Structure 1
Amino acid sequence: MLYAALLTIIDQELNAKVRPAHLEYVDQLFRAGKVVMAGPFTDKQGGMVIYKADSMAEAQALAEADPVVKEGARTLELREWSPLELPLANG
């Protein structure tokens, strides 16, 4: 299952300090097959990580261990995500 983590910056200074650890963490999870994609929003107010996990509990644990969340630089909104299979068969 896929889970979308919306990470909104609430402390710009702390975020700048913790961001290198966040990027390293996301890269490690990508290499382990637990992150599908990730990146910042163009408004520079946060970003999104798409996790691949067996359960919401696993995705929640992965997201909460992210340094930007753990250190309080960003809020976390985690939602199960079901991407469309495109193109649609009858479209």
Structure 2
Amino acid sequence: MLYVAFLPIVDQEKNTQIRPAHLEYINDLYQKGKVFMAGPFTDKQGGLVIYKADSMEEARHLAEADPVVVEGARTLELREWNPLELPLK
């Protein structure tokens, strides 16, 4: 399943300091097949990560271990996502 993590920034200074570790963490999970896609919002107020996981518990574990969440630079909202198969028939 896919799980979407919304990660709004709550501490810009802390986020700037921790961002390299966040990117390294996301890249490592991508290489392990646990991240489908990730990126910042264009308004620079946060970003999202789409995790590939077997359960909500696994996705939550992955998302909560992200350095920006651990250090309190961003909050986390995690939702299971069921994308449409397009084009619709």
TM-score (norm 2): 0.99
Equivalent-residue separation in structure 2 for 1:83 and 1:68 (angstroms): 26
Matched, 1:50 2:14: no
Secondary structure of 1:72's partner? Answer: coil
Q: How do 1:24-43 and structure 2 match up within 5 A?
A: 24-43=24-43
Cross-structure match for 1:76 = 76
Matched residue, 1:60:
60
Max radius of gyration: which structure?
A: 1
How many equivalent residue pairs?
A: 89
Where structure 2 has 5 or more consecutive residues not aligned to the other structure, the ranges are none
Measure the CA separation in 1 of the matches of 2:47 and 2:9: 8
* TM-superposed deviation, 1:20: 0.1
Between the two proteins, what is the percent identity of the paired residues? 75
Hey, what does 2:17 align to over in structure 1? 17
Paired AA for residue 54 in structure 2: D
Q: 1:86 and 1:18 mapped to 2: Cα distance? A: 37
Moved over 3 A (4+): none
